[in-house]
Every structure is written in structure tokens, then in C-alpha cells.
Amino acid sequence: MALAERMISSETTLDDDLDNHRVDHNSIDAEISALYEIKDIRNELNLLRRFLETQAEVVDQFSQMFWPGLDDECRERAQRTPKDHRDGFKQDCGLHSLIERINKMDGDAGRIQDGLQYLVELKESQGSLSEAQYARSLNNFIMLFTVVTIVFTPLSFMTSLFAVPIDAFTFNNQGNLFFGWQWIKSRMVIGEVTF
């Protein structure tokens, strides 16, 4: 009885959480925990089913020994046959109804397990989508950084080139450094190509 109550309380709690939207959409810990519990419940149900099936075989063998098969003679005398006694005894034991109940509970647990598995997959998909959106925003920052680098690296090269005190630079008649547009343009192109 406690097994059925645990199964019903797990299902009720999950339904309440879903109805009240109290489920954290970024965490699947509760669902994973519930999946482990459902698997444990299903294992216990399988153990109970195997036990009851073994007991049903014992009851069947007992009824075969206690009421041996003289069915044809009893039918001729219109009496209750040993098969009738065996079937009544098996029904009175109630093992088959218990096995049916366990099969029904296992089916219910299987449906709950499938629902939880689907919910976990949905949350994992949502998490993947969130990570993809975050990666896209990071890509935008990297693109901005790349553009800034493309623009400022050649400018940085040119400023360091002009800061070098070299006598090979051209001077005008007053003795000041003079850079013609052709000279600057060629250095800018060289700077862009090398970087």
C-alpha cells in the first residue's frame, strides 16, 4: 500500500508544480530525482510481480495435487468437477487480481516515467537554446572587437612608425619632416596587408 501511495504522491506533487508554474525551467534536478524514484518503484513492482507469479504457480501445483483431474467422471454425475474446485481455490487466493493490480500500477508508473523523460528532454532543449543565444551575443562582441582591431592595428603601426627617429624620412626646405600623401598611402597599404 505504501508503494501505491508513494507513486500517487510523486504524481500529485509533479502535477501541482506544473499547474502552479513553480518549476525552475533551468534546472532538471527535480525531474531527474523523480525519474530515479519512478525507476525504483518500477523495480519494486517487478519484484512483487515475480513473487506473486511464483506464488500463483505454487497455488496451481497445490490445487492440482489436492483436486486431481477426474473431471470426466464428475461431469457424468453432474457434480462439481475438480477443475471447478481448483479454479475456485485460485480465485479465492486472489493472486491473479494482485498481479493485475501490479501490472496496472506498473503501466501507470511507465506513463509517468515517459512524461518525466519528455519533460527532461524539453528542459535540455531549452537549455541548449539559451546557450546558443548566449553564444550568439558573445559572437557579436567578438565581431566588434575584431572590427576595432582591424581599424586600430594599422593606426598603431603608423604612429609607432612616425615615432621612430630615422634620418631617412623626407624633410622639407625648412628642415621639418615632410610626408607626401603617396608615401603615407603606401605605408598604410603595407600596414594593412601585413596585419
Residue 18 has what pLDDT? Answer: 46
- Give the CA angle between residues 140, 141, 146 to the nearest 5°: 95
Give the Cα separation of 189 and 154 in Å (integer): 9
pLDDT tens, the chain, 195 aa long: 554 565 455 455 545 544 554 445 557 888 888 889 999 999 999 999 999 898 888 878 777 777 666 555 555 554 556 666 667 777 777 888 888 999 999 999 999 999 989 988 888 888 888 899 999 989 988 999 998 888 888 788 778 777 766 666 666 777 776 666 676 777 777 767 775
Percent of the chain residues topping a pLDDT of 70: 64
Share the mean pLDDT of the chain. Answer: 76
